[in-house]
Structure 1
Amino acid sequence: SRLLEGVRAYGLIVAMWMRSTMAYRASFVMTTLGNFVVTAFDFVTIMLMFAHVDALGGYTLPEIALLYGTSATAFGLSDLLFGSVDRLGRRVRDGTLDTLLVRPVPVLAQVAADRFALRRLGRITQGLLVLGYALATL
């Protein structure tokens, strides 16, 4: 019961932030694409290294791509779903955590969904594309 209540609250807060983000769709698309391009440069660097060698430490490009795609997707998902938790210390210091404690909703759901940034989908998409390449190649 308490878990379902927390998941429901998380969903409602996320929906609120998504509506807020979609009020400026062009900004959302540009920010998401920018996020995608910036994170893609990481893998481009890896590809440039493999342009000069066949293997690094005994690993080929598809094997490194599997590792990179898996970690990028996992970190992207965790950043999307729980990226606001890292602001918890700041909330304690400035006293804004108290406002969350008096609400009849689990604090973790409120903290995790606060300032939900849908633009982080660019990082997840890039990781999934690299992962797809790796799985198709291997």
Structure 2
Amino acid sequence: MAETVAVRPAEGRDPGGFAYEDRPRLLEGLRAYGLIVAMWVRSTMAYRASFVMTTLGNLAATAFDFVTIVLMFTHVDALGGYTLPEIALLYGVSATAFGLADLLLGSMERLGRRVRDGTLDTLLVRPVPVLAQVAADRFALRRIGRITQGLAVLAYALLTLD
């Protein structure tokens, strides 16, 4: 018969598993991420009209997804047992979540390219966490249009559902 042994956190670690000395490194990474994002936002805001037009274009392009769903519901009352407000809730939550992930970590898709062309090495020698650098690289504030559209659909769903 197996004996149950109580496991306690290792010395120098909090219950979450982080070593106490890792906390400043985590904060350092978040600070670096914020600084890199601020740099990209400043460069984006240098051309405000371009930012507004691309954000509105992004909002309009993603809005066509939900317009298609609304058009389907003009012919039926329920689809798979779900009504339009229920589908809108699912759509709004997923669009907002994917939009936030794309906004905050959208540059992670370039990691493979950085490895292949050798530019990841420049990030490895900097005294900043690599994840913060890669995630914040080419931060595109224009992606906020997708989040706005998702939040608008989510607001509609929450207002119409019980």
User: Shorter chain as normaliser: what TM range?
Assistant: over 0.9
The structure 1 residue matched to 2:94, chosen from 71, 96, 99, is 71
Once superposed, which parts of structure 1, at least 4 consecutive aligned residues long, lie more than 6 Å away?
A: none
- Report the equivalent of 1:95: 118
Q: How does 1:5-24 map to 2 (within 5 A)?
A: 5-24=28-47
TM-score norm. by structure 1 comes to: 1.00
TM-score norm. by structure 2 comes to: 0.85
| Identical amino acids, percent of aligned pairs | 88
Specify every segment of 5 or more residues in structure 1 that has no aligned partner in the other structure, as ranges.
Answer: none
- Report the equivalent of 1:124: 147
Secondary structure in 2 aligned to 1:92?
Answer: helix
Q: Give the structure with the higher percent helix.
A: 1
Q: Which structure has the larger Rg?
A: 2
Letter in 2 for 1:105: V
CA–CA distance in structure 2, aligned partners of residues 83 and 121 of structure 1: 12
Specify every segment of 5 or more residues in structure 2 that has no aligned partner in the other structure, as ranges.
Answer: 1-23
CA–CA distance in structure 2, aligned partners of residues 82 and 46 of structure 1: 28
Letter in 1 for 2:27: L
- Report the equivalent of 1:83: 106
- Report the equivalent of 2:54: 31
> RCO (CA 8 Å, sep 6+): is it higher in 1 or 2?
1
- Report the equivalent of 2:73: 50
Letter in 1 for 2:95: A
CA–CA distance in structure 1, aligned partners of residues 57 and 90 of structure 2: 23
